[in-house]
């Protein structure tokens, strides 16, 4: 999915909602626990319930890798089940160089045909470049995260700016807004306006809304641009909105509520 198609989906649905499929077998509703295809059945029900409100789905690969071959199968079938008009994200946070990075890019753009993958830039340009060499796909680079440990490095002073600002400046020169996005945590509201100043055209993937305490209205006011320019990820707040047999209905209601709030700004 290219930028034009993503922007068209956002405008059509009046939504920047990304649903995070961080599906844990231990958290499945009771009637799905222990079933060989329980995770897949859960994911399909969530997708069916939220597809009218979401423009993207983010599959956190760790939750599937932990289940071995069975988990990878569920990931593959979940990806195949996504509607053709949504943006798919492999939240894998890969970051290596040379042939290893090439293989990671092949994994998530060819073997598992995601539109995008999250990438850690700590090892420099040659850890990101292989993902940018795949035309029609996106690298979503970690920029400023919402975890407590972000203070350890990202917020260190680097001359007159923070280290995360230097990372954003540098990485933005490696590719265009047509192929590069950045992860910016929603709980870093004080920095969102600064990020948008540094990256006026790039899309931002913004996690941290809901369970992590991020404020959707603050995010929209600080980060939207002329093309919307953001994808707001919500995981637990949607997929675990309900815990019983009606979990999909609860997920639909939660997604609809987020979309309604977003539509005001779109």
93 is catalytic: yes
- In order, the DSSP letters of 135-197 are TT-EEEEEEE--STTHHHHTTSEETTEEHHHHHHHHHHTTS-TTTEEEEE-TT-HHHHHHHHH
CA distances from 196 to 18, 193, 200 (A): 19, 5, 5
Residue 19 carries which DSSP code? E
Tokens linked to 62: 């760790």
Burial of 77 (0-12, 13-18, 19+ CB in 10 A): middle
Q: Are 127 and 101 in contact (CB under 8 A)?
A: yes
Whether 100 and 66 have beta carbons less than 8 Å apart is answered as no
Three-state DSSP at 242 gives coil
- Closest by CA position to 104, among listed 125, 89, 87, 119: 119
Q: Which of 27, 58, 93, 148 is catalytic?
A: 93
Active site residues: 93
């Amino acid at each position: 999915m290219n930028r034009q198609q993503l922007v068209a989906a956002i405008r059509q649905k009046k939504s920047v909602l990304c649903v995070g499929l961080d599906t844990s077998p231990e958290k499945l509703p009771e009637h799905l626990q222990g079933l060989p295809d329980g995770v897949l059945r859960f994911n399909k029900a969530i997708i069916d319930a939220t597809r009218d409100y979401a423009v993207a789905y983010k599959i956190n690969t760790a939750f599937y890798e932990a289940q071995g071959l069975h988990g990878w199968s569920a990931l593959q079938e979940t990806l195949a089940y996504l509607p053709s008009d949504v943006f798919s994200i492999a939240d894998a946070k890969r970051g290596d160089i040379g042939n290893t990075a090439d293989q990671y890019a092949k994994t998530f753009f060819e073997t598992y045909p995601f539109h995008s993958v999250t990438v850690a830039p700590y090892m420099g340009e040659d850890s990101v470049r292989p993902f940018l060499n795949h035309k029609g796909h996106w690298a979503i680079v970690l920029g400023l995260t919402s975890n407590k440990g972000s203070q350890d490095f990202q917020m260190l002073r680097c001359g007159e700016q923070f280290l995360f600002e230097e990372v954003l400046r540098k990485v933005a020169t490696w590719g265009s807004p047509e192929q590069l996005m950045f992860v910016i945590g929603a709980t870093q509201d004080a920095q969102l306006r600064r990020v948008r100043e540094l990256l006026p055209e790039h899309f931002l993937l913004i996690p941290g809304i809901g369970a992590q305490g991020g404020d959707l209205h603050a995010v929209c006011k600080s980060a939207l641009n002329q093309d919307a320019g953001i994808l707001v990820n919500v995981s637990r707040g949607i997929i675990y909105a309900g815990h019983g047999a009606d979990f999909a209905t609860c997920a639909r209601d939660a997604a609809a509520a987020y979309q309604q709030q977003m539509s005001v700004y779109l």
